[in-house]
Each structure stands twice: as C-alpha cells, then as structure tokens.
C-alpha cells in the first residue's frame, strides 16, 4: 500500500475551498454563485474522506454522505428560488435583489 | 495509488479554476462535472470506493444535471455570454483573491505533518455503520430530502 | 379653652373646601351663608378666646396642634401663639372680615362665579389667620404665601378680561420679589440661630448678636424686603393701584384691611430683631416717610375712585412703617386697627357708589350725589374724616401717636415729624377732594340712579361707621408685647410734646380739607388755572403715573428680560440636546450605508469575517 502525506490531502481541499470562495464573492450571476457553493461543499467533503482514510474507519465517509444529501436538498431549493427570481425580474443578476436597502 | 491521487488532484484544481473563470454557464457546468469526477478519482485513490461512486453518481450525475435543466430552462449560456463578460472586469478579482490567499495561508500553517497509510474501507464497513450507529442520521437525511422536495416544488410553482 | 385657637383658621378652611368642591350645586343663599357664616363663626371663636385671655394674667399662650416637619436639627410645627398683638390682629381680621363678607353677599349677588368668590375669600381669611397666629416663621411663611395666592386669584377674579390677568400677575410677581427676600432672611435666621420658633429666635438673637451686628442688619433687611413687598411700600408699591381691577370687597379686605398689613405685623412681631439693627429701623421709617409722601402726591391727581383709595392705603401704611421705624410699635398697631375700620368703610362705600352708578369709576363723571346715595355719602364723610385725622375720630388718635413717636427720635426726628405733617396735609386734600367731587356740586351724570343697598350691604357700613368714629377710644392690649427691652418706647413716653406741635397736628389736616373745599366745592381756585403754570403739566403727569415707577421698572427689568427671551428664543441650552439628536442622525447616515441591500456586499462581509477569524486562529 502507498502512503500519501496527510498535508497534501488537506492542501488539495483547502485550495478547492479557496477557489470556491473566490467564485462566490466575485460572480454576479446567481447560477455561478450556487456552483461555487457546490465547489466549497465538495472540498469540505474531501477533508472528511481524507480524515477517514487516515484513521482507517468509515465515519468520515458517512459524514460525506450527509454532506452530499445536504448539498442535494440545498441545490433543489436554491434552483427553485432562481426560477422564481427569473420569473419576477427577468434576469439572473443578484444585484437586483436590493429591496432590503437602507 | 498515490499517482492517481496527484493526477486527480491536479485535474480537479485546474478544472475548478476554469469553472470560476468561464463566461458561458453551460461550459462552466461541464468543467464542474469534470472537477467532481476528478475528486471521485481522488476518493478512490484514498481507499474509499463507495464514496467515489456516490460522488460520481449523485453529485456529478444528479445535482449537476439539475443545474443543467434549470440553465436550459432559463436559456442562459450562449445568449448571455456578453452580459457575463461585462460583469467581470479585472478589478473585481483583486479583493477576493487577496482574501482567498490569506485564508489559504492561514489554513496551510495549521496542517500537522503526518502520512496516511492507504487502506481500503469498503462498502461493507460503511453500510455496517449506516445501519448501526448512524441509522438515525439516515432517517434525518431522508427527512431533509423530503423537505427539500416539497419546498422546491412549492417555491418553483408559478402562480 | 385655648385649644380652640386651632379652630380659628379651621372654619374658613372648611368653608373654602365646601364651596370649592360643592359650590356649583348650592343655592346662592346657602353659599352666602357658608361663606360669611364661617368667618362669623371664627369671630365668635376669637371672642371666646380673647375674653378669658384678657381677663387672665398670662401674657402669652402657646398651643401646638401638630408637628409638621422634623428633620435633623430643624423642627417646625403647626404651633399657635397668642399674645396681645395676636389678639388685635385676629379680632380685626375676623371682625372686619365678617363685615366685608356680609357686604359681599349683597354686592356680588349678580355675579355668576358667586361660589368661587366666597371659596377664595375664605381661603384668604384662613391663610391670614394662620399668618398671625403662627408661632414659628415657617408656618407664618405658609400663611404669607397663602394670602399672596388668594390675592392673585381674587385680583384676576374676572379672568375673562386679560387686563385683570395682567394686574394679578403684576401683583403676584412684585410680591414674589419680596417673598424671596424674606425666604432668604428665614434661611439666614435658621442657619445662625438654629431655630425658626419666633420667641426662642428673638431670645437667641438678643443673646448672641450685638446691637448693629452684621447678621442682625442682614436678617432685618431681608425681612424688610418681604414686608415692603406685601405692604406695597417703596420700592415695591407698583402693584397695589393696578390690583383695584378686582371686585371692590376684595379691595376692601385684602388691599386695605388685612393683607397689606401683614408686613406691618411681621415687623412688629420681630421688633426685637429690628431693635438690634437701629440703622435698618431708621430705614423702615424713611421708607415709610418717602412712601407716604409719594403716594400722597399721586392720590391728589387720580380720578378713578378706587385708585385714589389705593394710593391712600399705600400712604397710610407708610405712616405705619414710619411708626415702626421710630419705635412707636403700639401706635403703629393702633393705626393698623383704625385704618382697617375707616379704609374698609371707604372701600365698601365706594362699592356702593360704583354699583349704584352702573360701574362708573371716574369721579369727574359723578357729582352732587349726596341726595341720591345717602348711605354712601355718610360712609364717605365719616371715613374721610377719620382718614384725614379729624379730631376725635379714630384716625386722629392713631396718627397723632405715630407723629409724637417720630418726634422722639434724635436728630432726624423733627424732619420725620414734619414729613408726617405734610403728609397729613395731603391726606386732607385728596380725601376731601374725593368727597367734594363725588357728592357735592352739580350732578354730572347718572341722574336717575337710586342707591343699591340692601340690609346685607347697609349693616356692615353702619357698623364700620360706628367703629371709625369711636374706634379711637379702644385701648389695645399690646403694652406687654412691646415693653420688653424697648428703650425707644420708654423715651417716647417721657418726651413732652409742646402744645404748639399738638396744635399744628390738629390744624394741618383741617387746612387740607379747607384747601380742597376752596378748589372743588366753593370754586375759589380752580385746577385748570393751576395747570397753566409752567411745569404744571409735567408735574401732573409725573405724579399721576405714580412718580414714574412703572416706567422705571419697565425700563430696568421688563424690557431687558423680554429682549433676552426674544434673543434666546431658540434656547441656548436646548442646542446641547439638539446636538445629541444631530449626532445620532449623522451616525445613522454614516452606518446606513453598510445596509446596501446587495447580496454580494453581504457575502463579502461574511467572507471577510471568516477570513479574519481563521487568520486570527492561525497567526496568533
């Protein structure tokens, strides 16, 4: 069996997380924001799996399963909201959602 | 095995980078699918075949397809390329990149120096845990999915 | 039986409460009965106390009803004190007060606020009684303030006319100046002598303070300030003529017989203090002299019947102050009593005249009324004779005693006496000017009016006529009060007054009467020819305006105050609080910019927060 340095795994996850963060704060199209959120969730799941592999038990994988479920539900609701947004404002620009101003 | 790990990691990083830099929504989604599949390969190399397959089937297969459906419904993609370009002048990248760098360096400084002995943790063990100590979590997950289902239906309804 | 001393102010207080709360529901007869009856009951109570007191051999009686305040070293009680001085005061207040109340039941019968009138009158009598029977200065101050309040309420009785409100306000504010001075005097007395109980205070003062000591001078000056305000003497005399805006019975009661004598009572009560500060006592005499001359000049020029009587009151109280200032304490109190009789008589008579002639106040619009208004004519004749100190009337005896006392003072005594004599000359002139113009000569208007008088109005007038004529023979029981350590009084009794001076004091008022007869009745001289003399017009308007005091005060105090309030309309102090508001609004304007409503802005702030936390954890 091979040995993989622990910090490489964590490094990969952190890099993916940081990329997702950049995407969330930069993009103006709400679909991209949602996608970047998915990237971040995925990176978090990677951390759990790396941890479970290190200590040789399956608990990390169970956690990843939960995260997956969560991501699925969240995407479903989020996309429904995007559809409503498009219906109401005819655009996917999130800057139109500024009624809470002031 | 470690080769798979590094290869998969590199593909994931590059394709994620492309995801956030794209102007065409559909292309970005394809890149994201690629990224997710690469991460599945990484899982496999870490000795977790079950979650690797789950990642491929559920995440890349179902969730991303959901995205694609909505994108097609709203007719984003080729038609909105110009708009997307206009929304991404170079100056918007500065602060997020700085923040991400700070975050990354902060996280990096906290890694312990260990190594992983890769052993396979197969389906048997995972399902043993699922039906054992974590059975409640499974039930809660099903609640969550039901709630997500109903709210998605309700929210997306047209008046 | 001296416990019934507490009943004295109680009856009028109960009358006040009843009429105040239930007056709207009672019929007129009942209101009059309660209003006048409560004072009548107090008079009977006063008699029942005074008879045993006079026939007994105690000099003073004390009775504490209730402890009002007891804080640290300071104790103040509802304590009541009776001595000769109090006897005179309570009999005058309840007696003359009862007669005036009786008169008012007839005079005010057509007024819609009948019950309010009697309610406040009763409160006034209660406060005045508390003032005179108090044994400590704090309770006296309570009565002092009470009479000030009732005076305000009654001057502005017909409040629908704003002029009456101004007059009431002027009276209140002017007396307030005096009251403040008196309050400071009370503070000084308490901090120096440790008590406000009058008798103990006087004993302590005589023990601890030398004659002419700074504290005595300060305390007596401050008390004098209060007395001057309440008794309408220089320099606070401007309110009394304007106070004639109120109904005539209250002018009679408050501004002739009782409230304005409160200052005289205060000085008489605190006379040992004044004897410790001879300079201040001399000041009292000088104030009295100056006031009586100024008021005398002014009274000669007035043509409103009540204003003439008002200035006459100021002048007569000046005589009382003169008497107090020269140490003739008994004479001043005697003059207080006789003045109450004849001044109340004059005011009530004036009320009859005014009411009969349909509220006519100008004497030059009347004339020859002696046949039309016989009772009023009799009142005015007798009252004016007493006022001018015609021999053997009550006024004659009292004024004589004061002037004799003035002579006893070393140095300035002769000048004081001379001033008093000149004042008597003027008194004769203006009092009979009034009588001759109103009752003699040609009838100038209101020819067919008959006299308005019922039993309620006529009976008090008759009683007062008798008192004004014969009151001089009453011997007031104040000798014991004023005999303690009063060196001046002793010398006054020993001094022999020459027959020439006696003759002068008798003849001078008669000269005054004669002069006014020549001007106004016989037509030998005429005022209009006098007015052609150079400076006559200026002098006349100067005297008419009360020697310009109103103008002076307006210039010195009122105009600057109004200017200041106009300048400060935005209220400098308020800008501090407005500044707080401005600051918060500014803070809001700044911080509301963070609520942009943009999702990306909020996401960014969350991310910054996370990054900060992580870096804090990682790098620290």
Nearest Cα residue in chain C from A28: C600
Q: Are residues B63 and B139 in the same domain?
A: no
Residue A13 maps to a domain: no
Question: Quick one: angle between helices C198-208 and C162-193, nearest 10?
Answer: 50
Q: Are residues B91 and B159 in the same domain?
A: no
- Please indicate whether, in this complex, the C-beta atoms of A7 and B113 are within 8 angstroms of each other: yes
Q: Does C527 touch chain A (CB under 8 A)?
A: no
Confidence at residue A83, expressed as pLDDT on a 0 to 100 scale: 92
Q: Which of A32, A81, A89, A101 has the most C C-beta neighbours within 10 Å, making it the best mutation to test the interface with C?
A: A101
User: Closest Cα partner for C170 from C238, C228, C261?
Assistant: C238
Residues of B in contact with A3 (CB under 8 A): 2, 115-118
Confidence at residue C409, expressed as pLDDT on a 0 to 100 scale: 77
Residues of C in contact with A28 (CB under 8 A): 600
The SS3 assignment for C62 reads strand
Q: Are residues B85 and B127 in the same domain?
A: no
Q: Pull the structure tokens for residue B100.
A: 């991400």
Residues of A in contact with B2 (CB under 8 A): 2-4
The SS3 assignment for C326 reads coil
Chain A segment 7-46 residues within 8 A of B by beta carbon are 7-12, 14-23, 25-29, 31-32, 34-36, 38-39, 42, 45-46
Distance, in angstroms, between A5 CA and closest chain B CA? 4
Q: Are residues B77 and B126 in the same domain?
A: no
Confidence at residue C488, expressed as pLDDT on a 0 to 100 scale: 43
Residues of C in contact with B110 (CB under 8 A): 617-618
- Please indicate whether, in this complex, the C-beta atoms of B20 and A23 are within 8 angstroms of each other: yes
Confidence at residue C492, expressed as pLDDT on a 0 to 100 scale: 43
* Contact residues for C46 (Cβ-Cβ < 8 A; gap 6+): C8, C90, C91, C94, C95
Which range marks the domain in which residue A84 is found?
30-89
Distance, in angstroms, between A2 CA and closest chain C CA? 31
Q: Pull the structure tokens for residue B84.
A: 């997307």
Q: Are residues B94 and B139 in the same domain?
A: no
Residue B46 maps to a domain: yes
Phi, psi of C451 (to 5 degrees): -80, 135
Residue A78 maps to a domain: yes
In chain A, how many domains are there? 1
User: Closest Cα partner for C478 from C386, C398, C408?
Assistant: C398
Q: Are residues B5 and B75 in the same domain?
A: yes
Going by pLDDT thresholds of 50, 70 and 90, the confidence category of residue A81 is: very high
Partners for C (CB, 8 Å, 3+ pairs)? A, B
Q: Does A81 touch chain C (CB under 8 A)?
A: no
Q: Are residues B3 and B61 in the same domain?
A: yes
Q: Does A96 touch chain B (CB under 8 A)?
A: no
- Please indicate whether, in this complex, the C-beta atoms of A98 and C595 are within 8 angstroms of each other: no
Q: Are residues B40 and B85 in the same domain?
A: yes
Confidence at residue C491, expressed as pLDDT on a 0 to 100 scale: 43
Q: How far apart are CA C414 and CA C515, in angstroms?
A: 25
Q: Are residues B39 and B76 in the same domain?
A: yes
Residue A79 maps to a domain: yes
pLDDT beyond 90 at A35: yes
Residue B60 maps to a domain: yes
Residue A52 maps to a domain: yes
Confidence at residue C448, expressed as pLDDT on a 0 to 100 scale: 65
Contact between C301 and C544 (Cβ < 8 Å)? yes
Provide the mean pLDDT of chain B.
89
For the domain that residue A38 is a member of, what is the CATH number? 1.10.287.3510
Confidence at residue C618, expressed as pLDDT on a 0 to 100 scale: 83
Q: How far apart are CA C193 and CA C190, in angstroms?
A: 5
Q: Are residues B93 and B152 in the same domain?
A: no
Per-residue pLDDT tens over the stretch B38-50? 999 999 998 899 9
Which range marks the domain in which residue B149 is found?
122-159
For the residues of A12-49, what is the DSSP string, one character each? HHHHHHHHHHHHHHH--BHHHHHHHHHHHHHHHHHHHH
CB burial of C264-283 (b: ≥16 within 10 Å; e: otherwise) equals bbbbbbbbbbbbbbbebbbb
Distance, in angstroms, between C618 CA and closest chain B CA? 5
- Please indicate whether, in this complex, the C-beta atoms of C604 and A100 are within 8 angstroms of each other: no
Nearest Cα residue in chain B from C606: B99
User: For chain C, which residues score pLDDT lower than 50?
Assistant: 485-495
For the domain that residue B6 is a member of, what is the CATH number? 1.20.120.1200
> Which of B72-81, B125-134, C394-403, C583-592 comes out lowest in average pLDDT?
B72-81
For the residues of C505-556, what is the DSSP string, one character each? HHHHHHHHHHHHIIIIIS-SS-HHHHHTSTTHHHHHHHHHTTTTHHHHHIII
Distance, in angstroms, between A12 CA and closest chain C CA? 18
Q: Does C617 touch chain B (CB under 8 A)?
A: yes
Q: How far apart are CA C481 and CA C83, in angstroms?
A: 7
Residues of B in contact with C599 (CB under 8 A): none
Residue B116 maps to a domain: no
Q: Does C578 touch chain B (CB under 8 A)?
A: no
- Please indicate whether, in this complex, the C-beta atoms of C595 and A25 are within 8 angstroms of each other: no
Residue A25 maps to a domain: no
Chain C segment 587-606 residues within 8 A of A by beta carbon are 592, 595-600, 603-604
pLDDT beyond 80 at B87: no
Partners for B (CB, 8 Å, 3+ pairs)? A, C
Per-residue pLDDT tens over the stretch B19-37? 999 888 999 999 999 999 9
In chain B, how many domains are there? 2
């Amino acid at each position: 069996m091979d040995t993989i340095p622990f910090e490489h795994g964590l490094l990969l996850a952190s890099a993916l997380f940081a990329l997702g963060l950049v995407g969330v704060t930069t993009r103006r199209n709400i679909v991209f924001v949602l996608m970047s959120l998915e990237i971040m969730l995925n990176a978090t799941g990677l951390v759990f799996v790396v941890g479970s592999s290190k200590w040789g038990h399956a608990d990390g994988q169970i956690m990843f399963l939960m995260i997956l479920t969560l991501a699925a539900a969240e995407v479903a609701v989020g996309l429904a909201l995007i559809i409503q947004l498009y219906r109401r404002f005819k655009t996917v620009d999130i800057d139109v959602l500024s009624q809470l101003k002031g | 095995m470690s080769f798979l790990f590094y290869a998969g990691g590199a593909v994931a990083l590059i394709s994620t980078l492309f995801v956030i830099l794209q102007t065409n929504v559909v292309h970005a989604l394809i890149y994201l699918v690629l990224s997710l599949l690469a991460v599945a390969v990484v899982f496999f190399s870490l000795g977790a075949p079950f979650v690797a397959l789950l990642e491929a089937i559920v995440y890349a297969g179902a969730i991303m397809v959901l995205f694609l459906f909505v994108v097609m419904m709203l007719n984003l993609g080729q038609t909105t390329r110009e708009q997307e370009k206009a929304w991404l002048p170079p100056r918007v990248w500065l602060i997020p990149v700085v923040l991400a760098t700070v975050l990354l360096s902060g996280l990096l400084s906290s890694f312990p120096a260990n190594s992983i002995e890769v052993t396979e943790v197969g389906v048997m063990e995972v399902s043993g845990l699922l039906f054992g100590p974590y059975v409640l979590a499974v039930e809660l997950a099903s609640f969550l999915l039901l709630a997500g289902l109903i709210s998605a239906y309700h929210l997306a309804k047209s008046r | 039986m001296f416990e019934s001393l507490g009943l004295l102010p109680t009856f009028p207080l109960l009358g006040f409460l009843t009429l105040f709360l239930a007056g709207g529901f009672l019929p007129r007869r009942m209101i009059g009965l309660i209003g006048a009856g409560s004072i009548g009951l107090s008079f009977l109570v006063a008699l029942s106390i005074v008879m045993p007191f006079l026939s007994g051999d105690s000099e003073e009686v004390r009775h504490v009803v209730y402890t009002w305040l007891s804080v640290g070293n300071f104790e103040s009680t509802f304590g009541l004190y009776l001595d000769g001085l109090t006897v005179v005061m309570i009999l005058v207040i309840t007696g003359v007060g009862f007669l005036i109340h009786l008169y008012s039941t007839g005079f005010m019968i057509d007024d819609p606020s009948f019950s309010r009138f009697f309610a406040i009158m009763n409160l006034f009598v209660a406060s005045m009684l508390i003032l005179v029977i108090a044994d400590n200065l704090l309770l006296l101050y309570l009565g002092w303030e009470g009479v000030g309040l009732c005076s305000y309420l009654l001057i502005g009785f017909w409040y629908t006319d704003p002029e009456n409100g101004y007059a009431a306000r002027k009276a209140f504010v002017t007396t307030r100046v005096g009251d403040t001075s008196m309050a400071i005097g009370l503070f000084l007395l308490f901090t120096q002598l440790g008590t406000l109980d009058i008798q103990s205070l006087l004993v302590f003062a005589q023990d601890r303070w030398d004659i002419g000591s700074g504290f005595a001078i300060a305390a007596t000056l401050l008390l004098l300030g209060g007395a001057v305000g309440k008794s309408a003497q220089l320099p606070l005399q401007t309110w009394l003529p304007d106070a004639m805006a109120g109904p005539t019975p209250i002018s009679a009661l408050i501004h002739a017989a009782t409230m304005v004598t409160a200052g005289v009572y205060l000085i008489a009560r605190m006379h040992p203090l004044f004897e410790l500060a001879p300079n201040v006592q001399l000041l009292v005499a000088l104030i009295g002299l100056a006031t009586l001359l100024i008021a005398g000049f002014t009274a000669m020029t007035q043509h409103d019947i009540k204003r003439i009587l008002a200035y006459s009151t100021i002048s007569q109280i000046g005589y009382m102050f003169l008497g107090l200032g020269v140490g003739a304490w008994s004479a001043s109190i005697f003059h207080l009593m006789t003045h109450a009789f004849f001044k109340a008589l004059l005011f009530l008579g004036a009320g009859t005249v005014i009411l009969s002639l349909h509220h006519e106040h100008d004497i030059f619009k009347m004339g020859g009324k002696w046949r039309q208004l016989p009772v009023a004519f009799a009142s005015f004749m007798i009252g004016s004779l007493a006022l001018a100190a015609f021999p053997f009337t009550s006024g004659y005896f009292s004024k004589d005693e004061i002037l004799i006392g003035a002579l006893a003072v070393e140095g300035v005594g002769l000048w004081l006496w001379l001033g008093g004599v000149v004042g008597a000359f003027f008194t004769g002139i203006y009092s009979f000017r009034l009588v001759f113009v109103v009752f003699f000569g040609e009838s100038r208007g209101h020819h067919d009016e008959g006299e308005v008088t019922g039993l309620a109005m006529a009976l008090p007038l008759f009683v007062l006529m008798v008192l004004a004529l014969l009151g001089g023979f009453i011997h007031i029981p104040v000798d014991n009060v004023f005999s303690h350590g009063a060196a001046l009084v002793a010398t006054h009794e020993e001094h022999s007054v020459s027959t020439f001076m006696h003759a002068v004091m008798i003849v001078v008022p008669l000269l005054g009467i004669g002069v006014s007869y020549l001007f106004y009745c016989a037509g030998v001289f005429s005022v209009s020819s006098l007015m052609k003399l150079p400076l006559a017009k200026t002098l006349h308007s100067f005297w008419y305006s009360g020697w310009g005091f109103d103008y002076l005060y307006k210039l010195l105090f009122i105009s600057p105050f109004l200017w200041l309030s106009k300048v400060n309309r935005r209220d400098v102090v308020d800008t501090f609080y407005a500044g707080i508001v401005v600051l918060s609004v500014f803070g809001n304007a700044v911080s509301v910019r963070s609520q942009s409503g943009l999702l990306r802005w909020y996401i960014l702030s969350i991310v910054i927060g996370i990054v900060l936390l992580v870096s804090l954890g990682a790098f620290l």
